[in-house]
A = this chain, B = another copy of it.
């Protein structure tokens, strides 16, 4: 059992009579207490209706049908009782409540919220639509709602949402027609319609939920609040979320990493495509962020990103029911070769490994199985296998120390008897309860009883072998991530000179520029401890010559200009200049070239820089993401940057040492840095340091909109890195 599993075995201490208490584990930084949202002592439905066609009726009925045992009130000035529950003209006329569900029209919702605030309501769930998603007037209304909740300290779910469910309270405060089964998946959906469709689908699939929450417009509580809460919930073993955006990127980066260590967090983030992004904005008013930044945010917080709904629930089901694998070595037990090969392919494709059994296991399989069975992984008990043969194979491979997980495959053949095989799987698992076992029984009617039995005994089963393997691969990815996260260290850097950066920026601003000149940009990164090629700005040929003599030959001369992007195209660059006289000549030549081609060009001067010995050309860059802040890029530099796109990304806001290491290692140029075909390894530690320093610089100075070091030369081990060309644009 994992630590997190152990943490979740203790039953919740909360009882309705004793009043609101925290979950045992709800100690995540910045976590909001949602006990009175999911486990309210009393609930009011404001806008409850006696008409069964109205949402205000359906919600009341769902709460009653869910078996909610707390107090339940209706609020509606026209009734005195609905569905056997007392009805009050206003919320303030009702007894105290923890949770108020608002179903009144949007025009009235703000006033009702104010009344709820005065009445001491802890949480509002605003089902009502007609807010930000409808335009400026709705946005104003939403702002009023938020202001009221802030003023009274009320939690706010929605507006424009389906409601909330806690199957363990139990409480179903939604207008969904399906009733979810209890389970240990917390499902968070930014689309109410999708949420309700999934609830209906989940019943047929026997998938159970601990909680369901519809985020709506996320005006109050956001995905971060709900993820943190769910990850700390003892009834929840996995969080599965459908998101269209992340509202507060900084808080997400800061808090979700810790939550995902406690409990796996799966996210399907839609709106990844350009067109998808358009659809997202037109639908929820959410501004879909740059997908690269999301990719980095999820990777750095340990969130498992999935690409499809199928994958979301395949993984959720596996996490909900099985322990995490300790490694990636998979044993496959099958009664048919074909599915065994398909599963083997999937294992390799997913980055898992086929287990190598110990001699004892192989000996045991040889002795106890008929000669025609395959005793190496995959174990093929062959088509005529009676159920007992599965048991023999399973007992042996589950106990093999070289096996971290088992995938059981079955095709229904004449002697197979799938239900008996299912019982053997459940029994055999007890021999190694810390190893995950996933099943694929391919078939329809012939395997139905067996798969139902497995579901009832917490063994996830899938129609096809690839699905089982994909789910297992996700579990392994999470397990490895969690192991690695044990050594998270912040990337501390020292010897920084922020005052110097400030003074450069002041000077640039005073000239009403946004783009820094080369020497200015170099000074900025140098102030944060990144070694740069020495360079200075010269205004005259003689000044250039004396700078060159001071810096040392050879030097490069480059026109200094924020306007000229491709400096060599206008004759603005001269390289490898070896003497003071040549410097003077080159200065004049550049000046003339530029003056001829761009007569209106403002002459700032010419940059004189010492030419550095060649190193491996790299790029280090930063663009600022509007949700997650500085997004750092690293990769192969030089002219092939855009062609090869060998670049990795990380967010500076949550940059651990491990992230810095990984972002270097996941590029192809890393093969060169490690020493390729006999070349010497490069100074990777110096490169890591430089990346951490650039990250710090971009965090400390939000006015830096973009930064590009291309190339950064990496030299051999011990000889450092040097920024040869630096570009900085201010916001």
B191 touches A336 (CB 8 A): yes
Stretch at the interface among A37-45, A376-384, A586-594, A698-706: A376-384
Residues facing B in A232-249 (CB within 8 A) are 242, 244
Q: A644-B668, A676-B643 are in contact. Are A280 and B341 (CB under 8 A)?
A: yes
Query: Given contacts A194-B442, A203-B445, A644-B668, are A341 and B270 in contact (CB under 8 A)?
Result: yes
Interface SS majority for chain A: helix
**Residues of chain B within 8 A of A372, CB atoms compared:** 134
14 cross-chain CB contacts under 8 A: A53-B414, A178-B443, A202-B444, A203-B444, A204-B445, A270-B341, A270-B345, A273-B348, A276-B345, A279-B378, A283-B338, A283-B374, A307-B466, A310-B310
Minimal Cβ-Cβ distance residue in B for A344: B276
Q: Are A308 and B643 in contact (CB under 8 A)?
A: no
A443 and B201: CB pair below 8 A? Answer: yes
A273 near B201 with CB under 8 A, answer no
Question: At the interface, yes or no: A337 with Cβ under 8 Å from chain B?
Answer: yes
A148 to B445, CA, bound (A): 41
**Chain A 169-212 interface mask (CB, 8 Å, partner B; 1/0):** 00000010110000000000111111011101111110000000
Q: Tell me if A442 and B198 are in contact (CB < 8 A).
A: yes
Copies per assembly? 2
A65 in the interface (beta carbon within 8 A): no
Specify which chain B residues have a CB less than 8 angstroms from the CB of A464 in the assembled complex.
308-310
Question: A677 an interface residue at 8 Å Cβ cutoff?
Answer: yes
Nearest chain B CB to A55 CB, angstrom units: 8
Question: Which residues of A are interface residues toward B (Cβ below 8 A)?
Answer: 53, 55, 58, 134, 175, 177-178, 189-194, 196-198, 200-205, 242, 244, 268, 270-276, 278-280, 282-284, 307-310, 335-342, 344-349, 353-354, 372, 374, 376, 378, 380, 383, 411-414, 442-447, 463-467, 569, 639, 643-644, 668, 671-672, 676-678
Partner of A342, one of B177, B309, B348, B466: B309
User: What CA separation (Å) do A336 and B244 show in the bound complex?
Assistant: 13
Q: Which of A194, A200, A380, A412 has the most CB of B within 10 A?
A: A194
Q: What residues on B are CB-neighbors of A307 within 8 Å?
A: 349, 466
CA distance A464 to B307 in the complex (A): 12
Q: A349 — which chain B residues lie within 8 A by C-beta?
A: 272-273, 307
Q: Which 8 A-B pairs have the closest CB atoms?
A: A191-B338, A193-B336, A273-B348, A283-B337, A204-B444, A197-B442, A197-B411, A194-B338
The smallest beta-carbon distance between A566 and chain B, in angstroms, is 9
Q: How far is the CB of A567 from chain B (nearest CB, A)?
A: 14
Inter-subunit contact A446/B177 (CB<8 Å): yes
Check if B279 sits within 8 Å of A191, measured CB to CB: no
* Chain B residue nearest in CB terms to A464: B309
Cα–Cα, bound, A276→B340 (Å): 8
Bound: A668/B280 CA distance, A:
32
| Distance (whole angstroms) from the CB of A393 to the closest CB of chain B | 15
The answer to whether B644 touches A644, judged by C-beta atoms less than 8 angstroms apart, is yes
Question: Which of B204, B341, B380, B412 is A244 in contact with, Cβ under 8 Å?
Answer: B341
CB neighbours of A383 from chain B (8 A): 192-193
